[in-house]
Amino acid sequence: MTRGYVGRFAPTPSGPLHLGSLLTAVASWLDAKSRRGRWLLRVDDLDTPRVDREAEPAILATLEAHGLAWDGSVHRQSDHVERYREAVDRLGARCFACDCTRRELRGLARYPGTCRARQLTREGNALRARGEIAAPGFMDRVQGRVDMGGRIVGDFIVQRRDGFASYPLAVVMDDLAMGVNNVVRGADLLDNTAEQLLLMGWLGIEPPNYAHLPVILEASGVKLSKHNRATAIDNRCAPVNLAAVLSLLGFDAPIDHVETMLAWAVGAWDIARLPRAASYAGFVAIGDGFVPSRAEYPVTSGQATARIARTGLRTP
Ligand SMILES: [Zn+2]
């Protein structure tokens, strides 16, 4: 029996979606739907200090406003903490307790192995897995061959001091449990993929297919993120937002109702048309959202608004 395509979108509920996270959502949705696959939604809510209670409903409302329906119910990492503890147990002697503080490790390119032989108690300490040389690399559907040959992955945290799983461990175990076999996400996570591939190798897990999308940078060169308070998506401008995102993905979509635009884009979707780059650069905030400002991208806010006017939809 073939499982078929299973993809996912996994936002962190630390704030509302911005144009960068909408781009990831749209690309992963289109990739799944063009393959007649399932698209699952997982709220990555393990990083409790960053979780904002109002963020999850806002994220779900934005996905709905943009026609991005998910299959099944919403998954939440916080419901599966036992899953991560079992994985840590399976890693066994690959893990060691570490009490190094962030301050002590500041400025170091890699963890220097300080606590490897100290036999610290696991209670109240973080757990690190012993790093090693990364696998040679993998074939990424957007970035092409990603070469990691010879790269030494430092000892990385699998369980934080507060007992919660680290990001790479949680992602690996969640994707496995959810049957995810295709991951479409931002290229800012390429680095973390080395740790995830090591974990999968140790735990005997087959890696998914990867597609790492270019991330949207602000004009200043910084990645759009909740940290730098990227403008939240305005759901009232859903067709314009969708046109801007589709434009970045290489599609000059006719502006219409979101369902019509998405149906068109599913038919036209070709992940090979995405730029093979780690980032889109040179974006500026205009009005209610971030829109492409560079001439090579077909949609500017003015063009989008003009096209909305022609289609008779209400402009924001
Ligand atoms: Zn340490």
Instruction: Give distance in angstroms: CA of 95 to centre of ligand 1.
Output: 12
Spacing, Cα 241 to ligand 1 middle (Å) = 45
In whole angstroms, what is the distance from residue 235 CA to residue 281 CA? 24
pLDDT tens digits, 42-84: 999 988 788 888 999 999 999 999 999 999 999 999 999 999 9
Ligand 1 centroid from CA 192, angstroms: 20
CA of 215 to the centre of ligand 1 (A): 32
pLDDT at 252: 81
pLDDT at position 248? 80
Query: pLDDT tens for residues 219-243?
Result: 555 566 655 556 678 888 898 889 8
Please provide the average confidence, as pLDDT, over all residues in the chain.
83
Main-chain phi, psi angles of 7, to 5 degrees: -115, 180
Please determine, for residue 112, whether its predicted confidence score (pLDDT) is greater than 60: yes
Question: How much distance in Å is there from the Cα of 257 to the middle of ligand 1?
Answer: 54
Tokens 């369980």, residue?
159
184-216 pLDDT per residue, tens: 998 888 888 999 999 999 999 999 999 998 877
Rounded to whole angstroms, how far apart are CA atoms 154 and 111?
Answer: 6
Number of H helices, E strands in the chain: 9, 13
* Contacts for 154 with CB less than 8 Å, ≥ 6 apart: 109, 110, 111, 131
DSSP 76-99: EGGGGHHHHHHHHHHHGGGEEEE-
Are residues 156 and 168 in contact, defined by beta-carbon separation less than 8 angstroms? Answer: yes
Q: What residue ranges define each of the domains in the chain, with the CATH number in brackets? A: 76-176 (3.40.50.620), 217-311 (no CATH)
Beta strands in the chain (DSSP E): 6-9, 38-43, 75-76, 95-98, 126-129, 137-140, 144-147, 156-159, 182-186, 209-213, 215-218, 279-286, 289-292
CA 24, CA 16: separation in Å to the nearest integer?
14
223 Cα to the center of ligand 1, angstroms: 30
Q: Angle formed by the axes of helices 19-34 and 238-248, to 10°?
A: 70
Are the beta carbons of 307 and 247 closer than 8 angstroms? Answer: no
CA distances from 88 to 97, 111, 126, 199, 297 (A): 12, 19, 12, 10, 46
